Amino acid sequence: MTGRIAATVGAMVALVLVLVAGACTTPPGPSTNDPGAAATLLPLTATRGTDAALYDSAGRQVTLRGANFNQLGDYFQTDPRLPTVATLDDADWDDAQAYGFSVIRLVTTWSAWEPQRDQYDEAYAQRVEDAVAQANAHGMYVLVDMHQDAWSKFVYSPADHICPTGWSRTRGWDGAPEWATFTDGAETCSPDGTRESTPAVKRAWDNFYANRDGIRDEFAELWGFIAGRFAGNPGVAGFDLLNEPGAGSSWSDSALRLGGAYSLAIDAIREAEATAAPGAPTHPVFFEPVFGGFPLIPFDFSDDPNLVFAPHTYAESFDDRAGFLDFSLNGYDTAAKGYRTPVFLGEYGAYRGGEFNTAWASRVHRLVDSLRYAGDTWWQWEQRCGDPHNTYYPMPEDEVLRRIPSCDDSRSIQACPTRPSPRAVPGRLTSLDAHPCGSGPMTLTGSTPRSSTADLWFPSTSDTPPNVSGSGIESSVTERVPGGWRAYVRVNGDYRISLA
């Protein structure tokens, strides 16, 4: 971890040296049709510039809050009696809505989309479309995520494999299909117990970045297929190109080549959208750094105007490096300024116990609010007993039998699943101070060139609506909804809104 910290510091110093002042991208002005007290999901667009942000088609700055749903993930299975994912059902959508979620980061997997080369699984595509429709019906956008961990579920140590002395056997995870997995016989055991250090995993990433047998091109083509399915769909928040992309034998070379892979995928997405829905708004594309946060991909990897930087953080959730959480989230904010994009926290989570988890999550929420991130999604909504995050391999028979009776669809959010949030505010959000855990006060300020309506979420079990106060307010309406209240506050000019 010391090496990663040094790399992080070095990257941030380099970033400060290369950042240059650019012309501010003018945010889209509010439309003449004020959405008013309506919960309609409007198309989203990211702007780039010194004041980059995520906006809806009414010119309101949007903040997305929610969780990762991995029920459509295709994971390595330690034992066929232990399911790897939970069932996605009506209770999930109802409960997520009652938490006030405005987005679901939906885990999907390349091996499920394209199990055979050039043959997309129509049934799987329909499952994804159905999930998007269900989320939208419950007032939530969907961020379609191409998930992977340690490259593929097809990279693992066979049960009879003997590891080198001091090394440990690895289980499979998720990601690429078998036909796109090239390890060249590299060692499948790990020298330090981490999945990313496994030589076979590193070799698979090297081959992806080198476009072995055209697999990087195939990855871009898959994104074109997905984008074509959702072209013009306002309920899709965007496309998350690749979850926590790994480093091959060289971190710096991997970062450079990852930028190239992203550029190809973005081109495929834009071509598919233009073909399937000419004239419709394009979807934001969310991109992540190399696993671990740094090194960053080149700042000029794409000139596409509709991008969102989407890193993850678990800083201090598994260790005690005091202050690293603040450093991490502030560092990502600085990196986003280098990309001239908004920043969205795609994953975060803590799993040590109630008091610690609550305090840690509250710190994350305070930080992303003060930095005005475009949103955040907790990892993860539900987890089954056969999920690779919960298992080891091979698993002894007595351990399998112990797990079977309790292997139910258990919720996995460990702390603060809901909090007051500005779903959309007219013009530009200039400050946000919200209670970080559960129900509590929220105050925000902003500025809009013309009258329009803010859409605010306030969690509460009370039948008494929250009090709306402030300045620049023309009118307000509150509506009782599952889990709390929606406040629709019409504002003009410089405004301040408080809910309590």
Residue 492 lies in a domain: no
Residue 467 lies in a domain: no
Segment 62-104, tens digit of pLDDT: 999 999 999 999 999 999 999 999 999 999 999 999 999 999 9
Residue 459 lies in a domain: no
Neighbours of 484 (CB within 10 A): 21
The span from the CA of 69 to the CA of 151, in Å, is 19
Global pTM reads 0.95
For strands 484-499 and 468-481, give the pairing: antiparallel
Backbone phi, psi, residue 393, to 5°:
-145, 140
SS3 227: helix
In this structure, what DSSP letter does residue 119 have?
A: B
pLDDT at 408: 84
Segment 182-199, tens digit of pLDDT: 999 999 999 999 999 999
The span from the CA of 114 to the CA of 120, in Å, is 5
Residue 486 lies in a domain: no
Residue 343 lies in a domain: yes
Residues 6+ apart with CB under 8 A from 142: 103, 104, 105, 106, 131, 132, 135, 136, 235, 236, 237
pLDDT at 232: 98
The span from the CA of 265 to the CA of 285, in Å, is 10
- 287's enclosing H/E stretch is strand 285-287
pLDDT at 189: 97
Residue 310: CATH number of its domain = 3.20.20.80
The total number of structural domains in the chain stands at 1
The span from the CA of 484 to the CA of 98, in Å, is 7
Side chain identity at residue 394, one-letter code: P
Residue 291 belongs to what domain range?
2-430
The span from the CA of 183 to the CA of 198, in Å, is 11
Residue 477 lies in a domain: no
Terminal CA-to-CA distance of the chain, rounded, Å? 42
Residue 30 lies in a domain: yes
Q: Please give the C-alpha separations between residue 417 and each of 135, 362, 413, 438, in angstroms, as whole numbers.
A: 17, 10, 7, 7
Segment 238-283, tens digit of pLDDT: 999 999 999 999 999 999 999 999 999 999 999 999 999 999 999 9
Residue 409 lies in a domain: yes
